[in-house]
Each structure stands twice: as C-alpha cells, then as structure tokens.
Structure 1
C-alpha cells in the first residue's frame, strides 16, 4: 500500500516507517518537526535503502493537507502526529485540544474527500484512566488529563465517522510504554527537553547528561513499592502497526481496537537494574515523593491482538535496555551528535 505516516520522523513513527518499508509498503512522511529533527530522514533512508519523501508542514493546516492528498494516491494513513506530554497538557490544555483534535479533523476530511478508507491511529493506555491494570479493550474509557482526553475524543470521533461512512476502517491501537531503539543504534528516542519518560531519563543519566534518576515514590502496592508499567520494545510496537494496517484489509468491522503490550509489568527499580546490567555499572538514583496522577500499575492484556493480528511481543526487557544503551552511547546528544 501507499501509506502516509503522520509524525513519521518521530520516535515511534520513524521505527514504523522502517518496518513498513521492510514489509514492502510505499511510505510518505508528513511531520512539522515540533518533536522531531530532520536529521532522522537521512538515517531512515540509509537503514531502508529507499528514498522516503517527507512533507514538512502542520496537519492542522487544512489547505496543505488537502493539497497533499490531491497530489498523492494514498491508500492508508498511520496517524502518530500529536502533542504527547501529560504534564504539559495540564499546563496548556487549549494547545493540546486544538492541535491533537485539529490535526485529526484535517486528516479525516482529506481522507473522505479522496476516498482513503484505512486509518491506523496511535492511541494510548491513558484512555483507561486510573484503571490500567490488566486492561482489556472493552474496559470503559476515560481520562485524568487533557492529553488523555484528546485520545478518548479522537477515538470517539473515529467511531462517529465510521457510522456516517461505513466504508471506513479504523484501527485504534492502545499502547503502554514504548522503549528501546533500532538494533543498529541509528535511530532512537531523542526527547527535545527533559525526558518525561523513565527509559530515556535513565539513558541520559548513564551517558552523563543527567546527574541522577529520581524515582517518584516507593510506597505503591507493588512488589518493590515502585510503579509498575508494561514496557514494549519500539520494534515490536512498529510491527504491531504494520499488522494492524494489513488486518484492515481483512476485517468486516469498521472500528477495531487492539492493545499492544507485553501483558507483563516491570517496576521502576527493575528497569533501572536491567539497564545497569546493559551499561555494566551502577547508576545514581534517589527516591522522592509520588508524582501527582501516577497509578501504581499499568499493563495490557494483549490477548485480542495476539489472536486477531497474529502478533505478540518478541523483545525482552534486556533487549530494550541493550538497544537503548547502544543508541544513547553512540548518540550521546541524540541526533545532535
């Protein structure tokens, strides 16, 4: 298929682009580079041996989006583009609603106008609110922050569009904590500011960019008192997107919801100690107070995706740490050097 990947220069998007090309699909990227850098494009072409067109503009620009769809005969869209920091969404809710919903409106209108019927949507475990332990796809959705509400709302918008346009096929992929990097160390996660997520923060401590890791709370009802999360290697996650895209050709359901995760929880300290083994030394950390809004445990029940997509995670926590360290040690300043 000819696939438009929105946010394709970002962390998850770039790894999915590699997987799409490996699977034989024809890929075009659109990205405004608000949370990505153009340097990734050359690395993607080197990894894939393929020239990958990229259009640098914001999807909230309806005219540019419409022009792109008029110029290219897309058969499907994978939609990653959007703001994604929970804390920032609380401080800037209007920015999050305007950007995340606006980009989706623009995409859906262009898709309808040009008869593009397949969309894979990058949703999130945040749609399960505080009820994230062992979550199954039929669990009620709600959110505890503006970022999460944009995901809930986008899912609902797509459901409503599917009712009005029954030829549409949507895959709503709810995933948990993507980590890791391409095994070559060529592409990986490169936060533009202080990392909001655990793994890139640990990696930056290991490479000397951060003094120490702060562990937010050790008094949760978990085996070691620290928060438990379902970590998924970004390569497995990319494979899940390709599997979902290809499943849309087979399904009779207009809206398809799949959790992408391992189904296993790993605590903050377990992940830290696994990373220490990858690095070969202890890393400094301190226990501090809980962070507002954090839940004790968050992990997927991926049984539906296992059965319907013939997909399951293959990479271990050790793989995630080894690949992250390879990326970070080869690129201590990320794509900047």
Structure 2
C-alpha cells in the first residue's frame, strides 16, 4: 500500500517513513523543502535500504498534489506538512493559517476529488490549551493559546466536519506531547533552523558547543524541583504510533483523536541531568524568569491508544537523551 507522506522530509515525517517501511507500507514523500534537507532522502536509504520516491511540492498547489496522488496510486495520506514554531506563529499568524489551515483544506478537496479518503493528521497537545486537569485525556476541552495551536484546533474541526459529511472518510488526529530523540543509528534526528524552539535540541546544541548555556525559564513552579514538567516521547515511539493508528483503523471511517505520549512528566532539570549523563558533558544552564503563557505541568493520559491501537511508548528518558546525543555529536550542524 502506497502512502503519501506530506512533510516527509521533516523531523517527525522522516522517522514515520522508517516505521511505515518497517511495517510493509510504501511511503512516497511530498515536501516543499522549506524546512528540511534533501539529504534526508540519502539518510533514509542508508537506514532502510530503500530509496523512497520523493516529490518536491507544496500542499497549496492543488494540481501538483493531485498528480502526486493519482500517478502514485496513493491510498492514504499521512499529513505532517505544517509550520510549527509557536513564537513565529504569533508574529506571522496569516502565514500559519494559510499554510496549516488553507493548505489542509486544499489537500482534502483534492483527496475527495480523486477518491483518497483516509488521512492521518499530525496534531498536537496544544489543542488542549491551558490544562484544566492532569493527566490530559482525549475528553479534555479543546482550545489554544497561540495561532499555531489554533491552526491545529481548526484543522481537527475541519476533519471532523468532513468525516460527518462523508460516511467513507477516515481522519485520525494524533495529539503529540513533546517529541524528542533521534533514530538510534545517529543518522537522522531533529535539526531546527536558527535558535531551537524546544528544550531538547537546545540542550543538545549546548552540549556540542553551539550554545553557551540553557536558559531555564522559571524555578518556582509547583513541581518537585520548581521547573516545568512535560511529557517527552521518543520520536521512534511516536512514529510507530502513527503506523499503529492507521493499521488499526484503515478499514474504518469517522474522526478519531488519540493522545500519543508516555503519561509521565520530566522536569527541565531532570532532562538536563539525563542529557549530561548521556553526553558526558556537564550541560551549563542558568535560571531565567518564567515566560508568559508557560504552565507548570503537562502530561498525557495515553490509555486510549493502548486500548484501541495496542500501542504504548516503550523508550525512556535515557534512550531519548542517548539517541539525541548520538545524532547531535555525529552531525553537530545537522545534515547541512
């Protein structure tokens, strides 16, 4: 079965291509390379032994997207092609709504036209806004605190409405918590352009000497050590969660949301300590004031995925930091 992977050259998309191949599916990558390297294709070939078909294209280009679906006999779409920096989304909201929301609508219109009615959507725990209770389950109220989060909320609503109007349509929204880590080979990992938005790549770049220190925003939260607690999930566990969701539901229809997380939170200082152990580098950090909008704790209730998909996260914080360091030390400047 051929599956079109939009944004398949990016961090989560590329690792999911590995999991798809391992499970016997054939990924076809569709990416505009706006935030990814063409060299990912070579790394994927070394890891899997297969050269995946790659189409350079934008999801807003309906004619090109249609040709990709038809010419490759695509049966489902895994959709990762989104802009994803929270801070940038507040500065460029229209760009985020255009790409993430309008782009997905354009895709769905084309998919409907050619009879491809199954989509796995890369959503986010940001759709829960400020947590009203912990752990967060799929019944938690939906909201957002920034334009990036709102794009995920809006696309989920669009997918649900589309499924309600079409008995044959399947849309699975996978709500991630904090993806980290890298492929255990060290050949593929997260390589953010510019200053990292997320904790783990910032720690990794500090350990490898690219950053002077890690800023820890807030040490007075109501958590065991005063720093923010988050649910981190290894990228390979996350990738396999996508395949498990599709395999469990590919003959079904309707809109189905699932949390993908570990159900366990780690504090900022715990992650820094774990990374220091993995790297053998005493990662420097400095305390800084809280950031507006940050919350004390956020972690998943992921039992629905275990029950319905037979999926649970297997890899612990040590595997997350070990594999991140393996990648970062091998490719300190990413694939470029």
Indicate the TM-score class for this superposition, using the shorter chain for normalisation: over 0.9
- Secondary structure class of the residue paired with 1:319: helix
* Contact 2:4–2:69 under 8 Å retained in 1: no
For 2:117 and 2:66, the matched residues in 1 are separated by 15
1:321 equivalent in structure 2: 321
Which 10-residue stretch deviates more, 52-61 or 11-20? 52-61
For 1:110 and 1:289, the matched residues in 2 are separated by 47
Q: How does 1:322-337 map to 2 (within 5 A)?
A: 322-336=322-336
2:182 equivalent in structure 1: 181
Q: Report the number of matched residues.
A: 335
* Contact 1:32–1:57 under 8 Å retained in 2: yes
1:21 aligns with 2:21: yes
* Contact 1:120–1:173 under 8 Å retained in 2: yes
2:50 equivalent in structure 1: 50
2:126 equivalent in structure 1: 126
Shift of 1:323: 0.3
1:59 aligns with 2:59: yes
**Deviation digits for residues 101-154 of structure 1, max 9, x if unmatched?**
122012111211111121100000000000173111011100010000000000
Q: Which runs of 4+ in 1 moved over 6 A?
A: none
Q: How does 1:159-238 map to 2 (within 5 A)?
A: 159-238=160-239
1:110 equivalent in structure 2: 110
- Secondary structure class of the residue paired with 2:216: strand
For 1:61 and 1:109, the matched residues in 2 are separated by 12
- Secondary structure class of the residue paired with 1:50: coil
Shift of 1:250: 4.6
* Contact 2:41–2:51 under 8 Å retained in 1: no
Structure 2 residue runs of 5 or longer lacking an equivalent are none
- Secondary structure class of the residue paired with 1:335: coil
* Contact 2:123–2:173 under 8 Å retained in 1: yes
Query: Given the two structures, how large is their TM-score scaled by the length of structure 2?
Result: 0.98
- Please give the root-mean-square deviation of Cα atoms over the aligned residues, in Å: 1.0
- Secondary structure class of the residue paired with 2:195: coil
Which 10-residue stretch deviates more, 60-69 or 271-280? 60-69
1:303 equivalent in structure 2: 303
Structure 1 residue runs of 5 or longer lacking an equivalent are none
Shift of 1:239: 0.3
**Deviation digits for residues 164-214 of structure 1, max 9, x if unmatched?**
111011111001000000000000000011100000000000000001000
Query: Given the two structures, how large is their TM-score scaled by the length of structure 1?
Result: 0.98
Shift of 1:281: 2.9
Inter-CA distance 67–250: structure 2 relative to 1 (3 Å threshold): closer
**Deviation digits for residues 16-69 of structure 1, max 9, x if unmatched?**
001101111011000111111101111111111112111111111122112222
